[in-house]
Amino acid sequence: MEIDFPHGRKLRLVVGDITRIRVDAIVNAANSGLRGGGGVDGAVHRAGGPAIMRELDGIRKSAGGCPTGSTVATGAGSLPAQFVFHAVGPVYRDGRHGEPEQLANCYRTCLDLAGRHGVRTISFPAISTGVYGYPMEEAAGIALETIALRLRSADCPVQDVLLILFDQGTYSVHARIAAARITSSRSAGSP
């Protein structure tokens, strides 16, 4: 699915493995200790190699980690990108402990970092929907609306945003919510 925005900007929903798709910046679903893990985090470090963790070691020493809802940038090692943006999503409790705002902040801080690093294409996983347990429908609405708001704004530096969904079920949830809530959407026959 491909959704058009002003100035030729696009949001694309794609089924795939985020470590295999070429963009300027890949977003990782990290933890606040920046210590690596499973899921996207494991895949990013496996495919990117040890240079990424070496850089995170330095950030941990100087800043102590990364708060929930925020993001730090490193190089991308052997990944097909220039940068990895390590975004720390919230662990879902009941949705009443600031989780929606923290999740939206992950997407916002990544798009802010994109502006500072000259990133034109960026790929996001469905942050917090794995180990961190965020209900998929709610997380999808927050991700899509936060990204769409930014792609509509006059000063958006990013041209292409890819939301990489790991399986067909996750893709279907996001596609349905995008069609219902994001205007000017059109299906391009993907996946």
Binding residues (CB under 6 A) for ligand APR: these are 17-19, 29-31, 36-43, 89, 125-132, 164, 166, 170
Which residue of the set 17, 41, 112, 155 is catalytic?
A: 41
Instruction: Say if CB 10 and CB 160 are below 8 A apart.
Output: yes
Quickly count: other Cβ atoms within 10 Å of residue 2's Cβ.
15
Long-range contacts of 147-152 (CB under 8 A, 24+ apart): 147/11, 147/107, 147/111, 148/3, 148/5, 148/11, 148/182, 150/107, 150/108, 150/111, 151/5, 151/6, 151/9, 151/11, 152/5, 152/6
Minimum Å gap between C-beta 146 and ligand APR is 15
If the CB atoms of residues 89 and 158 are measured against ligand APR, the closer one turns out to be 89
At residue 50's C-alpha, the angle toward residues 74 and 41, to 5°, is 65
Minimum Å gap between C-beta 45 and ligand APR is: 9
87: β partners: 29, 71
The residue (of 4 and 17) whose beta carbon lies closer to ligand APR is 17
Rounded CA gap, 184 and 175, in Å? 13
Task: Let me know if 155 is a catalytic residue.
Answer: no
CB of residue 134 to ligand APR, shortest distance in Å: 7
> Min. distance of Cβ 176 from ligand APR in angstroms?
16
Beta bridge partners of 161: 11, 122
Q: Which is nearer to ligand APR, 42 or 49 (CB)?
A: 42
Task: Give the residue with the Cβ less far from ligand APR, 51 or 131.
Answer: 131
Positions marked catalytic: 41
